[in-house]
Amino acid sequence: MILVTGGSGFIGSHTVRALHDLGEESLLVQRNTKEVPPHLADLPVAVEQGDVTDLASLLGIGRRYDVTGVVHLAGYHAWLPTSERAVPATRAALDGLLNVVEAAQEWNVGRVGVASTIGVYAGTATDGPLREDMPLPLSAPHPIPRGKKIDELLAEQLSETTGIEIVNYRISGTWGPLGHADPFFAAPALIHAAARGTEPDLSALAGPAYAEDALDLCYVKDTGRAIALLQLADHLTHRTYNVGSGRSTSNAEIIDAIKTVVPDARVDLPTGRPASATHLDISRLEQDTGFRPEYGTERAAADYIGWLRAGNAR
């Protein structure tokens, strides 16, 4: 049984479903309820009430189940504290990782996976694919990649000192069912607008969106499957893996895919920004797990629009 922190959330719930498809049951830890989330009600999922920042509750849950691995996806936004709560929020983010590793020690878990982000590559000097062995700048322009760099260094230290295999997932831009508006790319806003017959609300973006803007975008069902494969692999040869599509997808490509489903969608974006081609090298992931993305842009857009039009809010 795999403990998935954040297992009822966006990437977490798709990871739980992928683990099930690969023959593994999941255990979820939720702060407020022991109820199985409605979107996972069709699966044999165990749910316990607890908090990864509370070591006692976490250890108690693990003693009631045979936990063989941990996928730690919770606390992603803990690295976005307000100025009034900067210190306690940072402490909670660190406590979550430390408690998960301490619990894994007690349970004799062999592998713990920890969510990181493509954002850790910001500022690297390269025009080609982003590889896990590239040197990274110590600083970061945003709190989330800054926090994830701290997590990665701490995970390396803990892995060497505890003997637990701790694996970092550098997750690309991820979109699909259950996702929220994203400050770094426009795809979710474009899809929601097409499904509702409105113009896209781009207010959540950190800056203006152009048709040429491009990023390694991975459909969440592929992201969840990649993480599940990494957790269940018999042997991994690295501590850090890029999790993405291995290609760059532009807003223009997203718009073209949308219009194959909704021809009259009002989702056009201005042009004029120099094109970029940032994407993750996923050779490690492919070689060690056999992963291949199953959702191209057109299939992903059609699936996501269909999900929203079926009455799902996000």
In what helix (H) or strand (E) does residue 242 lie, and over which residues does it extend? strand 240-243
Same domain, 157 and 9: yes
Residue 290 belongs to some domain of the structure: no
Same domain, 194 and 304: yes
Residue 107 belongs to some domain of the structure: yes
Distance, CA of 103 to CA of 56 (rounded, Å): 9
Same domain, 111 and 206: no
Residue 287 belongs to some domain of the structure: no
Same domain, 126 and 195: no
Q: What tokens appear for 105 in the block?
A: 């020690």
Same domain, 145 and 195: no
Give how far Cα 63 sits from Cα of 114, 156, 231, 258, Å: 21, 26, 21, 48
Same domain, 212 and 230: no
Residue 253 belongs to some domain of the structure: yes
Q: Which amino acid is at 25?
A: E
Query: Taking the model in full, what pTM does it have?
Result: 0.95
- Nearest alpha-carbon partner for 115 in 230, 32, 281, 247: 230
Q: What tokens appear for 306 in the block?
A: 């269909």
Length of the chain: 314
Burial (CB count within 10 angstroms: exposed 0-12, middle 13-18, buried 19+), residue 120? buried
- Report the alpha-carbon angle 304-48-223, nearest 5: 30
Residue 74 belongs to some domain of the structure: yes
Q: What tokens appear for 168 in the block?
A: 């970092």
CATH assignment at residue 140: 3.40.50.720
Q: Let me know: does 7 contact 73? Beta carbons within 8 Å.
A: yes
The stretches of the chain forming alpha helices (DSSP H) are: 10-21, 55-63, 86-107, 143-162, 187-196, 220-232, 251-261, 283-289, 297-309
Same domain, 59 and 77: yes
Same domain, 225 and 271: no
Residue 285 belongs to some domain of the structure: no
Number of domains the chain contains? 2
Same domain, 170 and 30: yes
Q: Let me know: does 305 contact 262? Beta carbons within 8 Å.
A: yes
pLDDT, residue 181, reads 81
In degrees and rounded to multiples of 5, residue 125 shows phi and psi of -95, 90
Same domain, 57 and 22: yes
Residue 289 belongs to some domain of the structure: no
- Nearest alpha-carbon partner for 175 in 108, 220, 109: 220
Residue 284 belongs to some domain of the structure: no
pLDDT, residue 308, reads 96
pLDDT, residue 76, reads 62
Domain, as residue range, for 268: 179-216+247-279+295-309
Same domain, 187 and 72: no
Same domain, 71 and 37: yes
Q: Let me know: does 282 contact 290? Beta carbons within 8 Å.
A: no
Which residues of the chain have a pLDDT value below 70?
76-84, 275
Give how far Cα 110 sits from Cα of 67, 106, 145, 230, 231, Å: 10, 11, 26, 13, 10
Other Cβ atoms less than 10 A from the Cβ of 164: the count is 21
